[in-house]
Amino acid sequence: MIIGEKIKNICKQYKVKFIINDDPLLALKLNADGCHLGQKDMNIKIAKKILGKKIIGITCHNSMNLARKAIKAKADYIAFGAFNQSKTKKTKYVASVNILNKVKKFTKTPIVAIGGIDLVNYKNLLLNNANFLAISGYIWKNKKYKPLQAIKKLK
């Protein structure tokens, strides 16, 4: 919990949202800005009862059906991926920019792209209707740049 408080303070300092992965109860305990739910995590309706008006995002992998369900359940954002091989997680589902463009045609719900995003491929995702990018390995496991340098390269 102490590390969660430290991360929350860093997020606050840099004016970025503090979203807890997979655990609405921990998000509540840390007074985070919200929680991201995978398909095997808590149901969004239960998470909304726990978190109230806080941000709740849903993983949709590469599925239009999951996106429609998440939108119907009033998810604050929907996440698709992996768009590329990732150093962070084994790639189980592969998404293409086609899904970003298809989903954008029927919703204004913000879209997050995730999976193997780096300096070479991030712009293509933004140009194809991703509103946000979830980037981990490029920042934290980069052999060429330290985390802050890697982030600055993305600007």
Domain borders along the chain are 1-58, 60-155
Burial class (CB in 10 A: 0-12, 13-18, 19+), 23: middle
Percent of the chain topping pLDDT 70: 99
- What's the pLDDT at 1? 64
pLDDT digits (tens, 9 = 90+) for 2-11: 889 999 998 8
Q: Give the model confidence (pLDDT) of 49-62 as tens digits.
A: 999 999 999 999 99
Phi then psi for residue 56, to 5 deg, are -135, 120
What CA–CA distance (Å, rounded) separates 55 from 24?
A: 10
Q: Look at residue 68 and tell me whether its pLDDT is greater than 70.
A: yes
Average pLDDT, the chain: 94
Q: ∠106-78-24 over CA atoms, to 5°? A: 145
Token pair 């802050």: residue: 148
Confidence at residue 14, expressed as pLDDT on a 0 to 100 scale = 86
Class of domain 60-155: alpha beta
Per-residue pLDDT band at 129 (split at 50, 70, 90)? very high
- CB pairs under 8 A, 24+ apart, for 50-58? 50/24, 50/25, 51/24, 51/27, 54/27, 55/17, 55/19, 56/24, 57/19, 57/112
**Res. 155 pLDDT band, cuts 50 70 90:** confident
DSSP letter for 30, please. Answer: T
Q: What is the pLDDT of residue 91?
A: 82
